[in-house]
Amino acid sequence: MAEIKRKNVKKKTAGRQAWDAVLTGISYMIPFIVGGGVLWGIAKAMGGYNIAGDMKSLIAAGGSYKDYTLAMVIYSIGSAIFDVCVPIIGAYTAYALSDKPGLAPGFAVGVISNTIKAGFLGAVIGGIIAGYIVIFLKDASKKVPSSIQSVFPILIIPVVGTAITSLLMWYIIGVPIGWFMIAITSLLTNLQGIGGAVFGAAIGVGMSIDQGGPISKAVALVANGLNADGILGPAACKMCGGMQNPLGVCFAQIIDRFAGKKKFTEKERSTTVSGLVLACCYIQEYVIPFLVQDTWRCIIPCMVGGAISGGLCGYFALESAAVHGGVFVIPMMSNPLQFILFWFVGAAINGTLYFLLRKPVGAEGDMAGNGVLDQLLA
């Protein structure tokens, strides 16, 4: 059968390939962060928020893991899962570039990154390097005699690829990254007040620009990576800043019902309950039809709401061990009531501004219907 070749298909640039590989690594890491984070939250709910300190005190007093309470055991399981988050990023970033041969070098460089305190950033960069080294070795295997080619996938690529990548990370690349991550960790661990508010507001705004698009993914990547390194504040800012978006749009629709201004069509109003459910589940994509139809009147209130919710979380140093899960993980946060308050405050301001900025249905041609939403509800 003749091979079908598509015309005008642009080949991905190296930068785009690397970025897609990083997103792949993050996507594989998220289940580990969610699992470990939720177990951490359960353990803290059972044994107190300072359970890690209690475990250290127990060991210092001569105890062992055999003396752990059930809460301590659950916390230890969550910690064990967290320990592999960084190697998982490295492994699957390399895998996305070079397929299965990249897994071992990528995982190894992630472990090394943990050891030298280079964290998730070291694993991401190391995973990319591992992927390209493996690609080079795979290309080299095609240029040797066929009798030797079979040795490459089972011996040369795993050994040479792992050795080169790990040594580069240990002696060269990981050193400045380790310094940087230690400095960032120290800064963010102690960040609260005005500094925390500014950082949290920036995260909240980033999560509110494109509702799950490239900008939101980039912000989430940083927050999730910091969470894997034990810095839990950015995850709370990310979740609160993101969750207020769909809730804010729903609040605008509810205000419209009581105000009688008819700024939303009946089809749009019919989605309010669904939107509230999606907001509770931390699914921002509900906002996209409104964003597409009425971009600037929607995006500005969302960004303002995100800045307020995220900024408040940062100011009060709110922490979340989980990076996803919506309302189901709120009880596991450092202060659940604060999170709910900041979520609703940002959403209320978002919804009020969106209602005020939005034109009545029929006042402008583009407001007479919501094309994207009409297609979804057809």
From first to last of its 378 residues, what are the pLDDT tens digits of the chain? 444 455 554 677 878 888 888 888 888 887 887 788 778 878 877 887 778 888 888 888 888 888 888 988 998 998 888 888 889 989 999 999 989 989 999 999 999 988 888 888 888 999 999 999 999 998 888 888 877 878 888 888 889 999 999 999 999 988 898 888 777 777 666 666 778 888 899 999 988 988 877 788 788 888 887 887 778 888 899 999 999 999 999 999 999 888 877 888 888 888 889 889 988 988 888 888 888 888 888 999 999 999 999 999 999 989 888 878 788 888 878 899 999 999 999 999 999 999 998 888 765 444 445 444 444 444
349, 207: one domain? yes
170, 237: one domain? no
281, 182: one domain? no
Closest CA to 110 of 125, 95, 96, 97: 125
355, 296: one domain? yes
Full-model pTM: 0.68
Q: Does the residue 8 lie in any domain?
A: no
> CA 80, CA 84: separation in Å to the nearest integer?
7
Number of domains making up the chain? 2
286, 156: one domain? no
Q: Where among 141, 166, 189 does a domain terminate?
A: 189
Cα 143 to Cα 136, 139, 147: the distances in Å are 11, 7, 11
Q: Does the residue 6 lie in any domain?
A: no
Q: Does the residue 2 lie in any domain?
A: no
Q: Does the residue 7 lie in any domain?
A: no
Rg (CA), the chain: 24
* Domain membership of residue 204 as a residue range: 193-377
Q: Where among 189, 216, 237 does a domain terminate?
A: 189
29, 142: one domain? yes
Q: Does the residue 5 lie in any domain?
A: no
Cβ atoms of 285 and 372 closer than 8 Å: no
Q: Where among 140, 155, 189 does a domain terminate?
A: 189
168, 289: one domain? no
Q: Does the residue 150 lie in any domain?
A: yes
174, 223: one domain? no
